[in-house]
Amino acid sequence: MEYKSRIPDIDKAKETIVKYRPLNKDVLEQLKQYYRISFTYSSNAIEGNTLTETETKIILEDGITIGGHPIREIQEALGHSEAYDLLYKLSSNPEIKEQDILDLHNFLYRQVDLDKAGKYRDKQVIITGTEFIPPSPQKVPDLMKKFADDIPELKSKHHPVEFAALLHLNLVTIHPFSDGNGRTARLLMNLALLQAGYITTIIPPVMRNDYIYSLKRAQIEPKDSQFFINFISECVYESTKDYLRILERLIED
């Protein structure tokens, strides 16, 4: 499926959201908790976690362990929830630094493997199903430093939605961690969006195939990143519409 840029539609919807601001604390808290569950569920599901959205809600809100699932899946849900809290704290900062990325991965992964959480990989990795081979581990620290140093210039040259998509793409292309790269990239993408006044964007698990395809396409042919940017813009637009629907319902109540 081909995607077109939805940035004009996103900015139009964002103008409507801005009219409702500032939101009262109760509405803000309800929105935050809604996206904690939805974002955690969807991001983990894309990576193969079999917890349902309802099961994710029970784990995060009630603290109840769900039977029939590996402990790792529960740890992934709890870790993503912690990273989500950090995401909101970082969103009040005007900049994104290399340490922010390390911290997001640390919070995300420390319940799964504390020794690897927030640390760059020390082994070569191969991604199944694609011709793309990530850089060697020896190159990762320098690539990540350059990646972080280039963020201000990248931000100045692109619309916030394009900027967020490119941060995501560039991070997973470096593939700096032994695991959790996709989830960290989606957190980083949302950090850029929230800092620019946009809303939390979810990539639905039903769009996983298109998501993976668009990533592979951009990694194999770097000049073809527009397809991935357009795909992300579609997700931002759909998430923005969903946000507006929930917001209007909360305000009416």
- Of the residues 80, 105, 168, 175, only one is catalytic, namely 175
Instruction: Quickly list DSSP for 63-90.
Output: -PPPTTS-HHHHHHHHHHHHHHHHHHHH
The verdict on whether 175 is a catalytic residue reads: yes
The CB-side HSE value for 10 (13 A sphere, CA atoms) comes to 25
In the block, tokens 């740890």 appear at 75
128: its two tokens: 């199944």
Compute CA distances 209 → 89, 125, 128, 156, 184, whole Å. 31, 21, 14, 31, 19
Quote the CA–CA distance of 27 and 113 in Å, as a whole number: 35
The CB-side HSE value for 125 (13 A sphere, CA atoms) comes to 21
Distance in angstroms between the alpha carbons of the first and the last residue of the chain? 38
Query: With contact defined as beta carbons under 8 Å apart, do 93 and 68 qualify?
Result: no
Quote the CA–CA distance of 105 and 128 in Å, as a whole number: 22
Query: With contact defined as beta carbons under 8 Å apart, do 47 and 79 qualify?
Result: no
Quote the CA–CA distance of 114 and 72 in Å, as a whole number: 13
Q: Which residues are marked as active site? A: 175
